[in-house]
Amino acid sequence: MDPDNPFFNAVVELIATQTKMPSSVVEEQLEIPPPQTNADLAFPCYALAKQLRKSPNEIADNLAGTLKPAGIIKRFDAAGPYLNITANWSLFGDHLLKDIITKGNAFGSSSIGNEKTVLVDFSSPNIAKPMSVGHMRSTIIGDALARIYQHLGYKIIRDNHVGDWGTQFGKLLVAYEKWGSEEKVKNDPIPELLSLYVQFHDKAEKDPTLEDAAREAFRKLEEGDPKLVKTFEWFWKLSAESFKKTYDLLNISFDTWSGERRYVAAAKHLTQDALKQGIVKESKGAWIVPLDPLPPLIIQKSNESTIYASRDLAMLQERIKIPNIFSLLYVVGSEQKLYFQQLFAAAKKLNLLPDVIRATHVDFGLMSLPGGKMSTRKGRVVYLNDVIAEAARRAETIMKEKNPDLFTTDRGKDVAFHVGVGALKYADLSRDRIKNIVFSWDDLLSFEGDTGPYLQYTHARCTSILKKGGVTTPPSFRAAALTDTKEIAVLRSLAHFPHAIHRTVRENKPHIIAHAIFDLATAFNHFYQAVPVLQADAAVKAARIALVAATKTVLYTGLALLGIAAPEEM
């Protein structure tokens, strides 16, 4: 139950009592109807149909005829297999607006997390390579989920598990030794290291012995060769400094950086322990964990080197020791779906993952170029810093046309930067994460329709109305003065916001919040264009000002949960 939503609670109690369903089950099944539906909540009757052996339409009809609306509940209506419920907005509106105005940006927050720890593993770029737009999805989705979980009372650990181990680093070390320049790497680290990596692959196509040299270099690195370790740690430091500059532009930070290299020794011990227990088997010189019906998971190569699976298992073994750990979220692309199924199954088999700890692969679709999949090796890639710079440039160009006065000071450039980054983030977060994306400048940085700038502009419009009215604190009001259907639509969208937050956490899909605040912005703009706010009579004006203030607050909060700034002016 939600102590701050008496309408929701009243609906849950009535339906649970009538159907004999547990309240928690009713809560989870309640849905938000589409905006065009003249209802505030919807209860699907499919589950009851199986239980009662009746059609869901018949059950919805029966519930609509049996349940008695009263007080904060205005009406029950059957709509096919759904029971639609409408609020008495004269009562619920007062509570809702006062709750938002009182709580401010804490509206929609909860203590449901009870300080349980959730570790979010996201971004994970590779050392010595620039971050491409391909890293954007994990970075932005992971950051949003961390913010949203935190809003519900969970303690968050943001972990950047960088790719810093594997044969590719043997290639880089060989390339640096043969063709590298310390001065060039110091002056322009990541582009120069990338150039060496590409050069290695170009030359290796003609000279296969280079591949052998790379494998040998990596073997020596893993064994702790002092010279190679020193060079590699230098690469690591330069890379981390570069990554942090990019994260600063996106207003994203991490609590821990836990590269793969850290788990090499633990991975070897884990493999040996599994071998002693008879859990792993030998296959063509490698060691595998049988996982029928899944394919077996290889945890050690025939040359006795660790691989990322054994290092991931060692990392998981460490993570479950975190005090009060509740959930592990791995925000990694969908192409790794089978691997994570294998990893979690192997962890269970090796007794590394207790049932009380959730491990979830939060997968997302591939971002590709129109010509196909991105490839650093082939030079077919768009760099994230370039995308951020282009987003800011486009935002500035558009905003100078619309509001040139804003650019009489440096404030304009700052706002344009936040608008550009907002467009970039929202373009990703407003899509269901499982869908693939073909990179397009126009699609990614659009400022029309369902976009970040549209939401930011609506927030700025709310701010402007309140400033024009000289409003610092909304005056006393009665929601009963809000009778226009467009006013009710705004109230309805405000009420749906906490539900969207909880559903986002259940499904790990930030687009649910993105859609909720877009619906709010759309409803608000329809309201704003249809009725006066500051020119209305006293009672209506007070209620409409409260509606504007509440909308501003929820838009700000929703954008903040997605990691997007909400400028006061645009």
Burial class (CB in 10 A: 0-12, 13-18, 19+), 397: exposed
**298 with 286: CB under 8 angstroms?**
yes
pLDDT at 40: 95
pTM of structure: 0.93
Would you mind telling me the total number of residues written for the chain in this entry?
570
Tell the residue number behind the tokens 């590394």, with chain if given.
352
Which whole number is the average pLDDT over 534-555?
A: 96
Given a cut of 60, is residue 265 above it in pLDDT?
yes
For residue 250, give the DSSP letter. Answer: T
Given a cut of 80, is residue 1 above it in pLDDT?
no
Predicted confidence (pLDDT) per residue in 87-130, tens digit: 999 999 999 999 999 999 999 999 999 999 999 999 999 999 88
Closest Cα to residue 195, out of 171, 219, 231, 167? 171
Distance CA 124, CA 122 (A): 6
293: preceding bond cis by omega (within 30 degrees): yes
Strands 294-300 and 325-331, bridge-based pairing: unpaired
Residues 6+ apart with CB under 8 A from 160: 122, 123, 124, 243, 254, 256, 257, 258
DSSP β-bridge partners for residue 76: 85
Q: How wide is the angle at C-alpha 392 spanned by C-alphas 387 and 398, nearest 5°?
A: 125
Given a cut of 60, is residue 498 above it in pLDDT?
yes
How much is the mean pLDDT over the chain? 93
Which whole number is the average pLDDT over 454-466?
A: 96
Strands 358-362 and 325-331, bridge-based pairing: parallel
Which whole number is the average pLDDT over 491-507?
A: 95
pLDDT band at 236 (very low <50, low <70, confident <90, very high): very high
Predicted confidence (pLDDT) per residue in 24-70, tens digit: 999 999 999 987 888 999 999 999 998 889 999 999 999 999 999 99
Which whole number is the average pLDDT over 347-369?
A: 93
Phi–psi pair at 459, nearest 5 degrees:
-60, -45
Q: Which two tokens stand for residue 402?
A: 């619309």
pLDDT at 372: 64
pLDDT at 166: 85
pLDDT at 368: 77
pLDDT band at 283 (very low <50, low <70, confident <90, very high): confident
Phi–psi pair at 355, nearest 5 degrees:
-60, -25
pLDDT band at 150 (very low <50, low <70, confident <90, very high): very high
pLDDT at 378: 58
pLDDT at 521: 97
Edge-first strand listing for the sheet containing 117-121: 256-257, 155-160, 117-121, 325-331, 358-362
* Structural domains in the chain plus CATH codes: 6-87 (3.30.1360.70), 384-561 (1.10.730.10)
Q: Characterize 217-234 residue by residue with b for buried, 16 or more Cβ atoms within 10 angstroms of its Cβ, and e for exposed.
A: bbbbbbeeeeebeebbee
Please provide the DSSP assignment of 358-388 as one string: EEEEE--PPEEBTTBS-BTTTTB--BHHHHH
Predicted confidence (pLDDT) per residue in 159-180, tens digit: 999 999 988 999 999 999 999 9
Residues 6+ apart with CB under 8 A from 74: 86, 87, 88, 89
For residue 478, give the DSSP letter. Answer: -
Phi–psi pair at 557, nearest 5 degrees:
-65, -45
pLDDT at 377: 56
Q: Which two tokens stand for residue 426?
A: 């929202």
Which whole number is the average pLDDT over 330-340?
A: 97
Long-range contacts of 335-343 (CB under 8 A, 24+ apart): 335/366, 336/361, 336/363, 337/361, 337/363, 338/294, 338/295, 339/309, 341/294, 342/291, 342/294, 342/295, 342/296, 342/297, 342/309, 343/297, 343/309, 343/312, 343/313, 343/316
Could you give the dihedral angle defined by the CA atoms of residues 21, 24, 30 and 32, in that order, rounded to the nearest 10 degrees? 170
Which whole number is the average pLDDT over 432-458?
A: 87
Distance CA 346, CA 315 (A): 13
pLDDT band at 358 (very low <50, low <70, confident <90, very high): very high
Strands 281-283 and 286-291, bridge-based pairing: antiparallel
pLDDT at 376: 57
Max CA distance (Å), the chain:
85
Predicted confidence (pLDDT) per residue in 371-402, tens digit: 666 565 555 678 899 999 999 999 999 999 99
Run of H or E residues at 276: helix 264-276
Which whole number is the average pLDDT over 215-224?
A: 90
**468 with 435: CB under 8 angstroms?**
no
Distance CA 22, CA 7 (A): 18
Distance CA 192, CA 198 (A): 10
Between the alpha carbon of residue 547 and those of residues 78, 95, 127, 471, 484, the distances in Å are 30, 12, 49, 12, 12
Helical spans, DSSP H, in 132-225: 136-151, 167-179, 182-187, 189-204, 209-223
Distance CA 389, CA 536 (A): 44
Distance CA 505, CA 400 (A): 38
Predicted confidence (pLDDT) per residue in 284-317, tens digit: 888 999 999 999 999 988 767 788 899 999 999 9
Phi–psi pair at 326, nearest 5 degrees:
-120, -40
